[in-house]
Amino acid sequence: MRIVLARHGETTANAERRFQGILDCPLNEVGRRQAEELACVIARYKPGKIFTSDLIRSIETAKPAARLLQISPVADPVFREYSWGILEGLTLQEAQDRYPEIFHVSFADLRRLEIPLQEQLADFRTRVKKGLSLLLSHDNYETVALIGHGRYLNALVVEFLGLDFNGPWPFVFASAAVCVLEAKGGRRRLLSFNEHYSRQGE
């Protein structure tokens, strides 16, 4: 089977480079346009089911594709974004100014920071595994899709490919771009990454 992954469209928090996490931010005008264009890319893969996070930016992004395919998206909190705790809603500079004690060491890898109220990494991984199992359990469909969030999708691809979860998470998802995974005969592959809508050939 194939799993089509896509990050939600742009929000104002994205545009302002804020820690968004589980803040329930809607799409902005750019994001709504991206969702319409993303629908055309997802429709090419003809998923039999579309899953989304239960956050509004993910649901809003999924709606045009679901409408095009004439199916109803399924929202599930297991696909919700990682929570940044007290940093949510802040830019990096605002976070550094307000909480200098958090950033007293190198923060090249944000997973190493101790952030009050953040989701613990072990809990996050458990949730990512549950989400991946849910996607793979629908193998009665040739293809399923998930409209989710950048950090969650990054971790999910690492988990899917069997990479070191405590090592680098190298997959940077662009807004409203598609990644395609394949599970076939015990093998797992990354088929494409950050595929965008294009009018070429139309």
Residues forming the active site = 8, 81
Alpha-carbon torsion 90, 60, 135, 39, what sign? negative
Is residue 186 packed enough to be buried (19+ CB in 10 Å), middle (13-18) or exposed (0-12)? Answer: exposed
C-beta of residue 151 within 8 angstroms of C-beta of residue 109: no
Cα distance between residue 49 and residue 137, in whole Å: 12
Q: Give the Cα separation of 181 and 110 in Å (integer).
A: 26
Cα distances (angstroms) measured from residue 9 to each of 91, 127, 188: 19, 23, 27
Buried b (16+ CB within 10 A) or exposed e, 120-130: eeeebeebbee
Contact 75/55 with Cβ under 8 angstroms? Answer: no
